Amino acid sequence: MSQQRMQGQPMIILGDDSQRMKDKDAQSHNISAARAVAESVRSTLGPKGMDKMLVDSLGDVTVTNDGVTILTEMDIDNPTAEMIVEVAEAQEDEAGDGTTTAVAIAGELLKNAEDLLEQDIHPTSIIRGFNMASKKAKDEIGEIATSVDPSDEEILKSVAETSMTGKGAELNKDVLVDLVVEAIQAVTIEAEDGSHVPDLEFLKLHTQTGRSVSESDLLTGGIIDKDAVHSDMPSTVDDANVLLLDTPIEVEETETDAQLNLDSPDQLQDFIEQEEERLKEMVQTIADSGANVVFCQKGIDDMAQHYLAKEGILAVRRVKKSDIEFVSEILGARIASDIDSVTSEDVASGSVRRDEDDEMFYVEGEDGHGATLLLRGSTNHVVDELERGINDALDVVASTVADGRVLAGGGATEVELAGRVRDYADSVSGREQLAVEAFADSLELVPRVLAENAGLDSIDTLVDLRAAHENGDEHAGLNVYSGDVVDTFEAGVVEPAHAKEQAVSSASEAANLVMKIDDIIAAGDLSTAGGEEEGAGGPGGAPGGMGGMGGGMGGMM
Ligand code: ADP
Ligand code: MG
């Protein structure tokens, strides 16, 4: 396909089986695809949300409640639907939590936009209105957020607990909430200007199966979950001088002749001796550096293992890259890539202790920098879902410590924002006003879905919530267990303000992106709707189908 301009008109030459959709057809096709994806995660929102079982093409099963995980595992083959997946990913990167919220709001914005398009309101007016409303909503978040002391453990625990509710982590939340808050505090530094900065680089989550969740623990330093390469090596080194290597202690083939023509047994003997000599030399260099512990990301030759043991050096091979990097972080050590140039400069001091029960090494630096949250659980499925929940909780607690602002959850913030955005709509003229109102309605999707997922009547709930907010009750939200309208802030259902700001802006950006497209030119057939998302539980009836444009988008103009 090529495009040339003739007298200001674009001329597009299409292949034989390519397809084209324009204006309203294009918009409604895209909106349907994007909405279908957004709607597929709605049923997981909130404490009473359900889980999804995802089965990949190899038959591997993931059971999760985590929005971004569902969307990324869904293997969506449609460029517009992928934009929605990107909302979830952006939310995950920026805030760590609130992915389902962001995606659900994006879907609702598109649904309401579709109604406006049907009333012949031009997409640019809708986009402009959404932008105005999104900005207003973010400003209002600043108004209604409550400032908290970043060292207020009660609030931090509430934030962690809110993000864990409804996840696998909930069952053991007492233990886990404490660990999450402790973990963030362990890596938070107070800057000179008095601000609190949690440094997540210094925190590592390590998972282990076989023990119960309640035996999870927070450890100072890092973990190397491997054995020593030789049984004669020391297992605990209190005064450790640690060398980190990302290169093997082996004789590489390129160092000897790759092809060897041997005429006599003597030559073979020579060759073996040469190789041994070379390995001895490497070990000697390591020993001369003063190292008594070596963590190596690559392999260690049998002969080298023997020499290292003779030198009394503890050596571990095939250590995970991320573990090497974390240990490098906490010891302040560099990672050496060339054994021949290793010196005492490459060695960092600390302690290395063996835990025989867990069969791993605990590594600590001298200044006690860095922490590892050791997350235990009975099986892989349990631990994996736990890990996703804990990651969210760590992010929201870190965000609260850094930003110091929280909001009432359970839909309270969304209803308050909707009311304020609706008031603001009165001051907006033109067709944008309708878009601003539609934006306000879309925010209320959150309490509606929270109610729906809890088996409550969503309309009644919304009516009650609105009434409470009109009475000036800014923190009136839904108690999903009793169905009552309560002060969710008082009840300890609190969320970081930053995550909500991000959810509002990424949702509106995604909706706008989808609406801006008025022309789809596909190299393949647009009408062969694939609908390959069965694994993730029926995306609510999408006309136009999904997956149809897979693989062959010619371009969008
Ligand atoms: P997300 O991926 O958007 O974080 P979640 O499934 O974690 O989705 O649900 C988050 C929503 O659940 C938020 O609106 C939050 O306020 C709400 N929520 C969490 N705990 C409670 C609770 N105990 N009562 C009412 N709402 C809650
Ligand atoms: Mg969440």
Rounded Cα gap, residues 318 and 322, in angstroms: 11
Ranges 34-48, 58-72, 308-322: which has the least confidence? 58-72
Best mutation site among 64, 161, 162 for ligand 1, i.e. most ligand atoms within 8 A of its Cβ? Answer: 162
Residue 2 in this model has a pLDDT that exceeds 70: no
Query: From the CB of 100, is ligand 1 less than 6 Å away?
Result: yes
45 lines ligand 1 (CB under 6 A): yes
77 alpha carbon to ligand 1 midpoint, in Å?
29
Question: 97 and 381 in contact (C-beta within 8 Å)?
Answer: no
Cα–Cα distance between 491 and 225 in angstroms, integer?
41
Q: What is the pLDDT of residue 15?
A: 65
Class of residue 277 by CB neighbours under 10 A (exposed 0-12, middle 13-18, buried 19+): exposed
Ligand nearest to the CA of 485: 1
Predicted pLDDT of residue 21 = 75
Residue type, position 509, single letter: E
What is the CA angle 233-237-239, rounded to 5?
Answer: 140
pLDDT of residue 530: 40
508 CA distance to ligand 1 middle (Å): 20
Q: Which residue would you say has higher pLDDT here, 286 or 81? A: 286
Backbone phi, psi, residue 11, to 5°: -110, 125
For residue 68, give the ligand 1 atom closest to its CA.
Answer: 2
Quick check: pTM over 0.85? no
Q: What percent of the chain has pLDDT over 70?
A: 88
pLDDT in tens, 487-524: 999 999 999 999 999 999 999 999 998 888 776 777 76
- For residue 529, pLDDT over 50 is answered with no
Quote the CA–CA distance of 56 and 306 in Å, as a whole number: 44
Q: Which ligand is nearest to the CA of 87?
A: 1
Average pLDDT of the segment spanning 286-305: 96
- Per-residue pLDDT of 115-137, as tens digits, reads 999 999 999 999 999 999 999 99
In this prediction, residue 5 carries a pLDDT of: 47
Kindly report, residue by residue over 190-226, the tens digit of the pLDDT. Answer: 888 888 899 999 999 999 998 889 999 999 999 999 9
Q: Looking at residue 191, what is its pLDDT?
A: 86
Whether the per-residue pLDDT at 3 is higher than 50: the answer is no
- Displacement of CA 314 from its chain's centroid (Å): 36
Q: What is the mean pLDDT of residues 245-253?
A: 88
Atom of ligand 1 nearest to the CA of 411: 14
Ligand 2 centre to CA of 314 (Å) is 43
Handedness of CA 522, 527, 530, 531 (dihedral sign): positive
- The CB of 450 under 6 Å from ligand 1? The reply is yes
How confident is the model at residue 165, as a pLDDT?
86
Closest CA to 124 of 515, 511, 554: 515
Percent with pLDDT over 90 in the chain = 59
Q: Give the containing element (helix H, strand E) for 103.
A: helix 99-118
Please, which residues have CB less than 5 A from ligand 2, an ion? 97, 163
Q: How far is CA 376 from CA 215, 372, 543, in A?
A: 6, 12, 45
> Could you tell me which of 369, 370, 352 has the C-alpha nearest to residue 361?
352
| Residue 410, ligand 1, Cβ within 6 A | yes
What is the Å distance from ligand 1's center to 173 Cα?
15
Angle at 519 between CA 513 and CA 521, to 5 degrees: 115
Q: Which atom from ligand 1 is nearest to the alpha carbon of 97?
A: 4
Which residues form the catalytic set?
66, 99-100, 392
> By the 8 A CB rule, do 363 and 344 touch?
no
Closest CA to 216 of 350, 351, 352, 358: 358
Distance CA 177, CA 492 (A): 13
pLDDT digits (tens, 9 = 90+) for 87-113: 888 998 888 899 999 999 999 999 999
First to last CA, the chain: 13
Task: Decide whether any atom of ligand 1 lies within 6 Å of the 49 Cβ.
Answer: yes
Q: Which of 68, 101, 495 to mutate to test the pocket of ligand 1 (most atoms within 8 A of CB)?
A: 101
Taking 70 as the threshold, does the pLDDT of residue 532 lie above it? Answer: no
User: And the tokens for 363?
Assistant: 């590594």
Q: pLDDT confidence of 9, banded at 50, 70, 90?
A: low
Confidence band (pLDDT; 50, 70, 90) for 160?
very high
Best-predicted range by mean pLDDT (3-17, 132-146, 206-220, 535-549)? 132-146
Is any ligand 1 atom within 6 A of the Cβ of residue 554?
no
Q: Which ligand is nearest to the CA of 170?
A: 1
Contact between 186 and 198 (Cβ < 8 Å): no
The ligand with the least distance to the CA atom of 102 is: 1
Distance CA 218, CA 199 (A): 16
Q: In the prediction, which pLDDT does 70 show? A: 77
Q: Is the CB of 99 under 6 A from ligand 1?
A: yes
The whole-angstrom separation of Cα 464 and Cα 450 is 14
* CA 46 / ligand 1 centre spacing (Å): 4
d(CA 40, CA 59): 21
Ligand 1 atom nearest 66 alpha carbon = 2
Ligand 1: nearest atom to the Cα of 412: 16
